[in-house]
A and B are shown apart, each in its own frame.
Chain A
Amino acid sequence: MCERKDNKGSSRRDFLRMAAQGAGGMALVMVGGGHSLVSANAVSEGGSDRRGPMEYDPSKHRYLYVIDVDKCIGCGSCVRACERENQVPRHFFRTWIERYQVSRTGEVYVDSPNGGHDGFAPSETGADISKAFFVPKLCNHCDNTPCVQLCPVGASFVSPDGVVLVDDKRCIGCSYCVQGCPYGSRFIHPETHTASKCTLCYHRLVRGESTACVQNCPTGARQLGDSRSLGDKVAEIVATSKVHVLKPELHTEPKCFYVNSSREVR
């Protein structure tokens, strides 16, 4: 759930009902003004399934996120788009980009200046770099998610479409979920003092639009799919390609999949 202004005053249950039954018009009105630059698009790239939140049924969707590491150029458009779309506070990130540089002798240099918000300056490692790549990161929207497990009041939850959300009207700000997220995807919002994270731009999903980061990626490195949508291209990538997830040893079952990644990625 968008913790800040897109669903103020609503509880978790209210929000889902709102999304499903139509009261979500309020959310639409509140966030609707800022999207003129973003073309109306379906969740899957190139689709045309635009709709109002009235028709949104979370049980009919199952979102997947695919990142093609080879396609990311580290421009930071996604980070900036996310910041604008979700009013992410400075120095906190719902999504970010990491730059990996690996030398011939095996040293791994990783950096993410300001989360990749402003792109990346030329490398100054001084090492003989043999491979380098950018890795976009965001909440992995895990199926077996530790953050939801750890939340003592049920403020963190997985919605029926698989999106991990936070009810900021219920969150007590204990930070247990922040401690429990292995991917560093959560933070305590400095103004609301509640847990905040990527919502997959839920307010856009209910309108049949894709996330701001996907919409603004100039190379198609980020793709959002829906495994409950017949013939979904992104779901097909996950089903047929060699994909991997971050920290698989923790068995969090992420729904964020990486293509063309490398073993150095944390």
Chain B
Amino acid sequence: MHGQSLNFLFPNDVHIMWSLMIVLYPYITGLVAGAFIVGSLYHVFGRSELKPVSRLAMVASLSFLLVATLPLLSHLGHPERALNIVITPHFTSAMSAFGMIYAAYLILVVLEIWLLFRSEIIELAARSTGIKRGLLKMAALGVYDISDEARRADHKVVTVLAALGIPAACILHGYVGFMFGSVKANAFWSTPLMPIIFLFSAVTSGIAMIIILYETLSAVNGRKISGDCLQSLAGYLWLFATVTVTLEILEIVTLSYAQDEEWLIVGPLIRDKIAFSFIGIQMVFGSLIPFILLGIVVTLKRYLTAGMRNVITFIAALILLIQVFSMRWNVVIGGQIFSKSGIGFRENYVPELGTREGVAAALCIFIIPFLIMGAFNRLLPLAVEDGDAQARSH
């Protein structure tokens, strides 16, 4: 349609139905999937330089997984009926798979972590007293065999579980992308690229989060950062961030070039309504700057001191975490700013502060995984000694 002169919204399209919590939900599940992929790089693909973060990655994945349902519960009109998704699932809905995918993945990750820490749990229990000993004995589940043979068996199962976990993590987050991509009523969401973009950005955010956690944990514990480990993580982050941003750009370029009807609303959306968060934050600040920073770390490593590399990688990872969040924001909120009339925009959405779907609640939810990781670390250290890596580090 040409020459639209009035901003027209369907009368029911005045409200933003999916708010900050539905931005947070794919962000958290992305971190779950991405962190698991980092762990699998060591456990399955034998990237031995990643040993120092191998346990951290798995525990981070579990910690974020444990809160992944909270944004959804905060959003639902009837959270008390949430289990209806499991009790009376309607299988034509992508959302109905959530319960099963979540439960399967949770079992897999818990089992993986238990096997990873089983020996330490038993050894620590033997050295501990009081409540800590009781907790650790409970965590051992009555199995106290830590012979070499048992450890080898554990290791084999860990490898198999980590291998199974790769498709599971991909399904967990690919499904989140599918939830948006399958809404054909929405010109901005409805693209087969959506699950793929979500998946790659999930891995990007997962690697970035592990870098932040690893550097922070090392600083807190007074441990030296493994140069090989961080260098490798920076390389993977550069690769996945580049692919992610390329896919994000390709999606928009294709829409624009095809000049389909969707572009009549998506074009003005990007140019006018979400220009700051999409072009400014997601593309320029969030993508271009880390691309340059990580490019320096990867290609000019011989000229960088360990301290410079650590700082640059940390900053790049932090910016990429913001980039992925802004991508989630732009998809979820941006996709709702225009009316399904295709010729009108709502008011820009500003999240409230104190409501159950507001900023404060979102921050509370997002902090919980870090508290879980902190508690876990107090009981069972997440850091892994890596003699080889320590020796090779700068």
Contact = CB atoms under 8 A, between A and B. Distances in A.
B5 A108 contact: yes
Interface stretch (B13-21, B101-109, B221-229): B13-21
A110 B185 contact: no
A41 to B, nearest CB: 28
B76 interface: yes
A188 interface: yes
Contact of B98 (A110, A150, A152, A192): A152
Given A109-B5, A146-B184, A266-B343, A173 B92 contact: no
Nearest to A94: B12
A184 interface: yes
Contacts of A182: 184-185, 340
A148 B75 CA distance: 20
B93 interface: yes
Contacts of B72: 174
Contacts of B343: 108, 110, 266
Contacts of B378: none
Given A152-B96, A173-B77, A186 B2 contact: no
Interface in A133-170: 137, 146, 148-155, 170
A93 interface: yes
A153 B84 contact: yes
Contacts, number: 148
Contacts of B13: 184
Nearest to B6: A109
A264 B18 CA distance: 29
Contact of A108 (B4, B17, B85): B4
Given A153-B89, A184-B13, A266-B341, A172 B3 contact: no
Given A106-B2, A170-B84, A170-B88, A111 B8 contact: yes
A180 B12 contact: no
A108 B79 CA distance: 43
A210 interface: no
Interface string A103-124: 1011111111011000000000
A171 interface: yes
A107 B6 CA distance: 9
Most B Cβ at <10 Å: residue of A149, A155, A174, A264: A174
Nearest to B16: A175
B215 to A, nearest CB: 38
B90 A184 contact: no
B17 A188 contact: yes
A187 B336 CA distance: 14
Given A93-B11, A182-B340, A184-B12, A107 B92 contact: no
A178 B186 CA distance: 11
A7 interface: no
A96 B340 contact: no
B380 interface: no
Contacts of B14: 91
A187 B95 contact: no
A171 B93 CA distance: 14
Contacts of B1: 108, 264, 266
Contact of B81 (A92, A154, A170, A175): A170
Given A108-B4, A152-B85, 13 more contacts: A91-B14, A92-B12, A98-B8, A109-B6, A112-B11, A137-B10, A152-B84, A153-B84, A172-B76, A178-B17, A179-B18, A181-B340, A184-B13
Q: Which 6 A-B pairs have the closest CB atoms?
A: A173-B77, A184-B10, A193-B77, A152-B95, A182-B185, A154-B90
29 contacts: A96-B10, A107-B2, A108-B5, A108-B343, A112-B8, A112-B11, A114-B11, A125-B6, A148-B92, A151-B90, A151-B93, A152-B90, A152-B94, A152-B95, A152-B98, A153-B81, A155-B84, A170-B88, A174-B75, A174-B76, A174-B77, A176-B95, A183-B340, A184-B13, A184-B340, A185-B12, A186-B12, A193-B78, A264-B1
